[in-house]
Amino acid sequence: AQSVAQPEDQVNVAEGNPLTVKCTYSVSGNPYLFWYVQYPNRGLQFLLKYITGDNLVKGSYGFEAEFNKSQTSFHLKKPSALVSDSALYFCAVRPSSGTYKYIFGTGTRLKVLA
């Protein structure tokens, strides 16, 4: 079965420190990969996506993500965390053929401490 795993329910990081939110996937072929952020009482907002090419993808609000095909991972990173980055982050995968569906991870709560 196709799946997306976010192994950490919560990540705590001090303001100004680099942050990483992990995502691994089990999907056949060459899927499309996404990160979304959700602030309290809001819907999900698109941050960035990987289609093909450079393994480091840059997105909104200074976030970037590193794709690793051999490890089937797509980790979200930011060089210097802000308190305002505190939110719920979702990794999502869309198979490149055969379905319209997006497969979401269970989410990781990021807490940036002042």
Binding site for other proteins (CB under 8 A): 9, 32, 34, 36, 41-46, 49, 51, 90, 92, 94, 97, 100-102, 104-107
Residue among 15 and 73 whose Cβ is closer to other proteins: 73
Q: Where are the beta strands (DSSP E) in 1-114?
A: 3-5, 10-14, 19-21, 24-26, 32-38, 44-50, 56-58, 64-68, 73-78, 87-94, 103-104, 108-113
Beta carbon of residue 62, minimum distance to other proteins (angstroms, whole number): 18
Min dist CB 46 to other proteins, Å, is: 4
Smallest separation, CB 15 to other proteins (Å): 26
Core vs surface per residue 64-91: b (16+ CB within 10 A) or e: bbebeeeebbbbbebeebeeebbbbbbb
- Which CB atom, from 53 or from 114, has the smaller least distance to other proteins? 53
* 3-state DSSP assignment of residue 36: strand
Considering the complex, what minimum distance in angstroms separates the CB of residue 18 from other proteins? 25
Classify strands 10-14 and 108-113 as parallel, antiparallel or unpaired.
parallel
For other proteins, the closer CB: 70 or 98: 98
Nearer to other proteins, 81 or 107 (CB): 107
